[in-house]
Amino acid sequence: MSTDTEVRPFDLDAAWQLHRQVSIRPERFGALLYHFGTRQLSFLKSPQLLTVVRALADSPTARDACLSSGVAAAELPQYGAALTTLATSRMICERTPS
């Protein structure tokens, strides 16, 4: 049985987006993300990760968002791990077809 708090394993080849209850505050080091539902704060520790997170909504997959944001193929595991953390904390969520 699935619940709203359950997070499936992260899939770079799925469509993702910023959770609708999350606000982004850009900073010199990257950004702060604040989830109004959970009241949780997350730090994006690089401007490039912020670019990836912003690109999620307009990209067919998370992999495409990474690559279009300048992430090298060799860096995908590192960015996949960061996106996994954001998905686990519900900062990003899987996008469903409209």
Q: Is residue 74 over pLDDT 80?
A: yes
SS (H, E, C) the chain: CCCCCCCCCCCCCCCEEECCCEEEEEECCEEEEEECCCCEEEEECCHHHHHHHHHHHHCCCHHHHHHHCCCCHHHHHHHHHHHHHHHHCCCEEECCCC
52 has a pLDDT exceeding 50? yes
Q: How many CA atoms lie within 13 A of 32 on its CB side?
A: 7
Residue 82 has pLDDT above 60, yes or no: yes
pTM: 0.87
Which pLDDT does position 3 carry in this prediction?
47
pLDDT tens, residue by residue, 10-27: 899 999 999 999 999 999
pLDDT for 6:
56
Residue 68 pLDDT: 97
Q: Name the average pLDDT for the chain.
A: 91
